[in-house]
Structure 1
């Protein structure tokens, strides 16, 4: 049976998970330049995929037009584009419905193995003899291999940095300083570095006069907190609520480093080849969500002698009493030292 020439790739949410598909798709299209890709995702994520050759974007309005039975309509729309195979990188109910419909129509399909059993075992180990699980990026790559397209994740060529608008150039300024993004928020507080400690990190970086720092976040509460974090410092700018998503991506692509939690912004930076330093609380790099192509040394983990049960959950939503303070064991001087080691 001949290889498919056009693959539908499904990855609907969340932001970090969708961003993790981007370097994999870059490698896939570089390895197989004749292969056509249609990515099915939420409209908000469309800017992620700009510049990937032979890639079309199909918008999924899963809360409106494509809700419930609208998923079948969406599957038919994909089929009308001439797809010959389906790579389900989502493996939840919406993508399963689309994939099963298209499989019934005779298309070849492959679905991600999320490793739920291995991740459950990682948490159940309560910190004893834990080891690295397969990365999410490799799990994505495995799906394409099932369809006849093996890829080597080491063969990544980062995309070109996005062009900076006059507005962004104005924010950056003309002084020759290294550009650092800081994204201090995450879905759960157990994965967030305390803002008081983050202020100490920023104070030390600001004082050196070697860095221009941009704060990323979203939502009214976060924006207010970031404004308070920005105010005391000359070299710090809060961009939350001030830029469009496309402008944020352009700025991120031009950073020299991103400091992130176990959250989406780290993955956004990594998809442009930007070095990422990640801070880990009750979650752990071994679960497979390290930003793409980032070394283990860039993963700063809470003190597991003081908090031996880490990782207590895969996503940070479950932890024993007292473990919400685990992040405090990553000292500000450790963070600053790692940033300077990476950049200077």
Structure 2
């Protein structure tokens, strides 16, 4: 094998989880050329990869939309000399591209998402609460089926020193001896989101304790709310809409702690070596989506018989009250954040 195509279109968190595996593969097989195919907006994640990794952005809403667009995309990829395809997504689009390559005589392999085990993990009656294989291992397994011996190893996109803070200092200010805490309070589904009125209490308590708090979010409604928090609490700065993804990664690399839901921001902060205190509601770390290098003792979660009820947090609450999130007290989060800050100093 000389040229491997890796396919993973979305979502952001899942794409971020490919980084440690692709990085390790590139380092452990420097003779191998790797092309990553994903949506254009995730390109910044791959800009600091080893030299044998390149990126192709797919325009799935325009030029590469539909069957005709996928045929066009296949035609654009063929001249690259790809001789193996690793499908880390296994959805209709990637299956179609995989089929085209296979018919062209090119070896392919795809991810086993473990749907049966995940269904048992979230079963309301006969729940099997056991740790499942992580997404990192599932991704690595695809490469192994193609004959690549890969052991996921990774520290940070920026190395131990973190990103160049000078590139964002106009927004963040100098760090000095301040304790920086990042908070990303949003997620794609309600079953993952800690009640925002309670999270504001966490923000207020940290600011009152002298922490510099940076808020992460995207979209107009999230930006509006975070700017309200910024106005109400001294020492709080909303970054929503102020920085691009690559610059947000720089800020994350200098945080003492990141606080996130089970969401993309957990994975982004993990990629720059930052400790993440993650909040889990309807979902559970056992499903295999914990951030790279994060340990289960950094997960905040309540022991309820109904948890987990969902892999992605998109199912309606069986109790109708989202107790897994609403019963989690702000004081608990603040205490856990302070403990993580102190442990980092030791």
Q: TM-score, normalised by structure 2?
A: 0.92
Would the aligned equivalents of 2:121 and 2:128 in 1 still touch at CA under 8 Å?
Answer: no
Partners of 1:125 and 1:325 in 2: CA distance: 15
Partners of 1:173 and 1:164 in 2: CA distance: 8
Q: Which residue number in structure 2 is paired with residue 313 of structure 1? A: 310
Relative to structure 1, the CA distance from residue 174 to residue 257 in structure 2 (aligned partners, 3 Å threshold; closer, same or farther) is: closer
CA offsets 1:122-180 (integer angstroms, 9 cap, x no match): 11154744101111111111111111112223x32323232234543551334411222
Partners of 2:167 and 2:73 in 1: CA distance: 39
What is the RMSD computed on CA atoms of the aligned residues? Answer: 1.7
Relative to structure 1, the CA distance from residue 129 to residue 121 in structure 2 (aligned partners, 3 Å threshold; closer, same or farther) is: closer
Partners of 1:260 and 1:325 in 2: CA distance: 18
Q: Which residue number in structure 2 is paired with residue 93 of structure 1? A: 92
Extract unaligned runs of 5+ from structure 1: none
CA offsets 1:6-42 (integer angstroms, 9 cap, x no match): 1000000111111111111111112222221100011
Shift of 1:102: 0.5
Would the aligned equivalents of 1:8 and 1:40 in 2 still touch at CA under 8 Å?
Answer: yes
Shift of 1:73: 1.9
Q: Which residue number in structure 2 is paired with residue 342 of structure 1? A: 340
- Pair 1:16-2:13 in alignment: yes
Partners of 1:5 and 1:275 in 2: CA distance: 36
Q: Which residue number in structure 2 is paired with residue 235 of structure 1? A: 235
- Pair 1:52-2:53 in alignment: no
Partners of 1:46 and 1:231 in 2: CA distance: 33
Shift of 1:324: 2.0
Relative to structure 1, the CA distance from residue 34 to residue 255 in structure 2 (aligned partners, 3 Å threshold; closer, same or farther) is: farther
Partners of 1:213 and 1:152 in 2: CA distance: 36
CA offsets 1:31-73 (integer angstroms, 9 cap, x no match): 2222211000111010000111111111111111111222122
List aligned pairs for 1:1-344, cutoff 5 A.
4-53=1-50, 54-68=52-66, 69-124=68-123, 126=125, 128-153=127-152, 155-160=153-158, 161-209=162-210, 211-304=211-304, 308-318=305-315, 319-344=317-342
Would the aligned equivalents of 2:184 and 2:217 in 1 still touch at CA under 8 Å?
Answer: yes
Extract unaligned runs of 5+ from structure 2: none
Would the aligned equivalents of 1:282 and 1:302 in 2 still touch at CA under 8 Å?
Answer: no
CA offsets 1:239-259 (integer angstroms, 9 cap, x no match): 101222332222223322211
Partners of 2:337 and 2:32 in 1: CA distance: 39
Would the aligned equivalents of 1:168 and 1:251 in 2 still touch at CA under 8 Å?
Answer: no
Bigger shift: residues 199-208 or 216-225:
199-208
Partners of 1:228 and 1:311 in 2: CA distance: 32
Relative to structure 1, the CA distance from residue 323 to residue 310 in structure 2 (aligned partners, 3 Å threshold; closer, same or farther) is: farther
Relative to structure 1, the CA distance from residue 124 to residue 167 in structure 2 (aligned partners, 3 Å threshold; closer, same or farther) is: closer
Relative to structure 1, the CA distance from residue 310 to residue 127 in structure 2 (aligned partners, 3 Å threshold; closer, same or farther) is: farther
Relative to structure 1, the CA distance from residue 11 to residue 131 in structure 2 (aligned partners, 3 Å threshold; closer, same or farther) is: same
Relative to structure 1, the CA distance from residue 219 to residue 206 in structure 2 (aligned partners, 3 Å threshold; closer, same or farther) is: same
Partners of 1:42 and 1:191 in 2: CA distance: 24
Partners of 2:138 and 2:318 in 1: CA distance: 30
Relative to structure 1, the CA distance from residue 317 to residue 50 in structure 2 (aligned partners, 3 Å threshold; closer, same or farther) is: same
